[in-house]
Structure 1
Amino acid sequence: MDPLPGEVWWKPALANVPAATSAGNGGPGLVLDDRLLAEPGGPGDRLPPDLRRLIVDRGALREHLAGQGLPTPRWARARTFEEASRQVIAGNRFPLAIKSARNGMEGQGVFRLEAFRELPKFIERLHGAAPDADLIIEDWIQVQATVEVTVGAAGNRLYAQKSLEKSLAATTAWRLFPVKPPPELIRGTDRILAALPGLGTAPGSLCRLTIGLAGKDCFLLALSGAANRLEYFPGWCEKAGVMPTVGEAAAPPATTVQGPGPTRWGRLQFLRRPSRQPPFPSALPPGCPAAVTRYFAAGRQAVALLSGPDPKALMQQATLLVRLLEEAGES
């Protein structure tokens, strides 16, 4: 079952973080869920109306990007299973992305459709979460890399690379930050930002672009106005040389605290277990890599922050951490 708006499974991890803002939505004017931005009289009122519409409505975003001449996957809007079936059969190509037109959080409401037989169950889940929302069916873009670009009200940027789990749901496996963007990503980001109306005009707001690099093109895969990233908060970013984006100690994105010596990186490793397995332990098992600087578990979901000067070493230590947690679950 999808969580209720604003209910992020890792939110309790912020409770004991020094200088964190009051729990709920990441501080004044910020939310942890884009669905809350659609509510009249809520935090979304701080945003320019046109930008707000693009954040909460994925179909409106696709139409806008195409109208601006930006790279956009082939896509179609559908309301019912019958309409979606006709679109899928007419296209006769896989894989596809099928998603709710209503924006969610953390890839919720986004599925990878690899065969027609999967369509009924995906539509059932999408309509169960948002019965009155349209469906978006589009080509699944095969990308060389997926990067999240967080932009603060002052225009400062924080770049993070992410990878998805090997599943039919668009679920994050890990994020690495801060990454140095290649020139083509900077140019592509500039073009996308120039096409978004009113960006950076709302005090205290932030906006996050999920960009897929495919050849020479930069595809805007998703747009968010929510502060639903652990690396924005105190205690989950400083070890990677990044100051908090939100909270009492907040600084604009991309403000660093890198000292002399090698650049440091942070890798957020997300872990999940099926219902047939026991929950994750509340504390790390013995022998965990020294690079693990923070860990939080909530039932069958967990996240660990690893930090160090070598991203390849962090990947290896994340693999070791996963193995140790698996062994702890079997004992």
Structure 2
Amino acid sequence: MNLTILGCYAATPRTYTNPTSQVLEIRNRLFLIDCGEGTQVQLRKNKIKFSKINRIFISHLHGDHFFGLVGLVSTFMLLNRTADLHIYGPKGIKEIIKLQLKYSNSWPNYGLFFYELESKESEIIFEDDKVIVKTIPLKHRVYTNGFLFQEKIKERKLNLDAVQSYEIEKCYYQNIKNGKDITLDDGRCIENHKLTFDPVPPMSYAFCSDTMYDESIIPIINEVNVLYHESTFLDSEEALAGKTMHSTAKEAAKIALKANVKQLILGHYSTRYENIEIFKEQAETIFPNILLADDGKSFEF
């Protein structure tokens, strides 16, 4: 599982920082999460192929999370894209994007599909044979969702020594990897656990931005491998965090601790701060496994 941070700062872009956007690669699936201004420039800087992006997830309709979307959709058209593009986001996103495309006379020549979200309960919004994506309802000034990306359990690993010792033919190998027991010609039933090893545990990633401190998300993100949680403010601006419905670094750490996550990534920093290391210092007083997001930074898990 790989995560590339394209932008992780709040509100407005600067010459050296970008608003929220990131790319998650999991089980050879590439997902773009949020699309602030400058996203397509950051994609180029980080050498991420545009053609690999087929699904985009937008958390909410504040500009620093989606103002780059129509530009990216338009660029796909100029690049003669033919593959379908699927966009998941709050109700209203379809109207906003279609209106811009309509009046700029630049409707794409590829399939553009919108999946508008309204539910205030967690729901599955995408699923294939390898990955499942669920919403994480968040509390912000407008309707907002985070997203939980989960690998499906992989097939079991074949124990070749055991299989060969029972002289099992290769045509049965896939059934064994799928978890089935095998009956030999002499009538003996060989249980699957004697022929296989457990698969590598599935990975999971939770994206939570923007939101105020909200313990109701804990059951949804419980024990995820990696949690990205907004930490717009430091302790000194705790009152402002409450007023604007954002979180502090310590509040993000409290969520990580209570949800028993393995790793916490902080991001969505207010641009009022010059040194983001202080976010880590404050969060580490509550939760030990802290990483700091930063533009262009990649993580491999």
TM-score, normalised to structure 2, is 0.28
Please tell me whether Structure 1 or Structure 2 has the larger radius of gyration of its CA atoms. 2
TM-score, normalised to structure 1, is 0.26
